[in-house]
């Protein structure tokens, strides 16, 4: 299903976070994991975009989705996952994120985003009228105004080296 224009800003932010998850996964596959730069990048992306994104979902999106019985349990799962991601980001900020936790962060965030895109957004688009989606879009726009538009670019330590 095509993404409704009112949910596109969240989907764009999902792309930024998924890019980080892919890079983390590739670093593990290449055996090139240096924790300090990853912790710094996770902390930076969270501060610039993910924290505002989560708050927008929790203030605007989730309360509306919870009105639909078929989405209520899904929203509860997503709220729990937000807490788990925040805990891992906190560990990144404290520089206590080890390799298993970094891997868990990438896997959890990636699965969470895919669940929102494939289940929550699809369910909302099927359940809500165009007018309801437009009203949601206004609220999301207001909440997301504080988020940075810029995608965080990989730094020297987190960029994978090309192999010949």
Instruction: Measure CA of the first residue to CA of the last residue in the chain; give whole Å.
Output: 40
Domain extent at residue 105: 10-144
Q: Does the residue 158 lie in any domain?
A: no
Q: pLDDT tier at 152 (50, 70, 90 boundaries)?
A: very low
The answer to whether residues 125 and 134 touch, using CB atoms and an 8 Å cutoff, is: no
Q: Does the residue 139 lie in any domain?
A: yes
Q: Would you tell me how many other CB atoms lie within 10 Å of the CB of residue 73?
A: 10
Q: What is the mean pLDDT of residues 45-49?
A: 93
Ranking 33-47, 56-70, 120-134, 137-151 by mean pLDDT, the lowest is 137-151
Q: Does 158 have pLDDT greater than 90?
A: no
Confidence at residue 65, expressed as pLDDT on a 0 to 100 scale: 97
Assign 3-state DSSP to the chain and report helix, strand, coil percentages, each to 5.
75, 0, 25
Give CA–CA dist 137/3, Å, rounded. Answer: 12
Q: pLDDT tier at 156 (50, 70, 90 boundaries)?
A: low
Confidence at residue 146, expressed as pLDDT on a 0 to 100 scale: 66
Q: Does the residue 99 lie in any domain?
A: yes
Q: pLDDT tier at 145 (50, 70, 90 boundaries)?
A: confident
Q: What is the mean pLDDT of residues 59-73?
A: 97
Tally of structural domains, the chain: 1
Confidence at residue 149, expressed as pLDDT on a 0 to 100 scale: 47
Give CA–CA dist 27/7, Å, rounded. Answer: 31
């Amino acid at each position: 299903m095509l993404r409704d224009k009112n949910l596109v800003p969240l989907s764009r932010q999902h792309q930024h976070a998924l890019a980080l998850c892919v890079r983390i996964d590739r670093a593990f596959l290449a055996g090139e994991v240096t924790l300090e730069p990853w912790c710094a990048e996770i902390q930076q992306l969270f501060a610039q975009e993910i924290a505002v994104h989560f708050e927008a979902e929790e203030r605007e999106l989730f309360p509306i989705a919870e009105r639909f019985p078929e989405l209520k349990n899904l929203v509860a799962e997503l709220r729990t996952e937000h807490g788990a991601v925040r805990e891992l980001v906190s560990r990144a900020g404290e520089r206590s994120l080890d390799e298993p936790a970094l891997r868990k962060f990438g896997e959890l965030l990636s699965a969470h985003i895919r669940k929102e895109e494939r289940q929550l957004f699809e369910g909302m688009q099927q359940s809500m009228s165009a007018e309801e989606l437009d009203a949601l879009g206004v609220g999301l726009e207001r909440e997301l105004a504080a988020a940075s538009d810029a995608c965080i670019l990989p730094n020297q330590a987190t960029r994978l080296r090309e192999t010949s």
